[in-house]
Amino acid sequence: MWRGKTWEFTRPAEQDRTGDYGSDSKFTVSGCLYWTSSEVEESFGRNTITASGILAVPHTKDVRVTDRPKSPAGDKFTIVGQARWGEAHPLTGRRFGFKFFEVKEVQ
């Protein structure tokens, strides 16, 4: 079994009935895996590196598209797509143990 790392997630507060926001909540998820799929260096008056990657989270964890992940190294990411592969295989019923999110980081 793979041993992942512990990532921190920030969940934005929801609006109450009067339209006010509470405070954001933070939680950690252990066993996460991350790999980079591309890095692009752009120069719009300043040097910027945009990194795209895949974040694998154990399928039992409640991670949402609106959550903001932070790596163990302190890099902040944005989730840019719905979770993939979190459900059981349609033919065999086997669970692979992870759900995958596409993430993006701008440095």
**pLDDT tens readout for residues 61-103:** 999 999 999 999 999 999 998 988 877 888 888 888 899 999 9
Residue with the bigger pLDDT between 48 and 103: it is 103
Q: Which of 53, 55, 65, 64 is nearest to 105 (CA)?
A: 53
Tell me the residue range of the domain where 92 lies. Answer: 5-14+23-106
Q: Is 70 exposed, middle or buried (0-12, 13-18, 19+ CB in 10 A)?
A: middle
pLDDT value for 11: 93
Model confidence at 15: pLDDT above 70:
yes
Model confidence at 1: pLDDT above 60:
no
Residue with the bigger pLDDT between 67 and 14: it is 67
* Domain CATH number, residue 54: 2.40.10.370
- The number of domains in the chain is 1
Beta bridge partners of 24: none
Query: Whole-angstrom Cα distance, residue 89 to residue 83?
Result: 15
pTM exceeding the 0.85 threshold for the entire prediction: no
pLDDT value for 6: 94
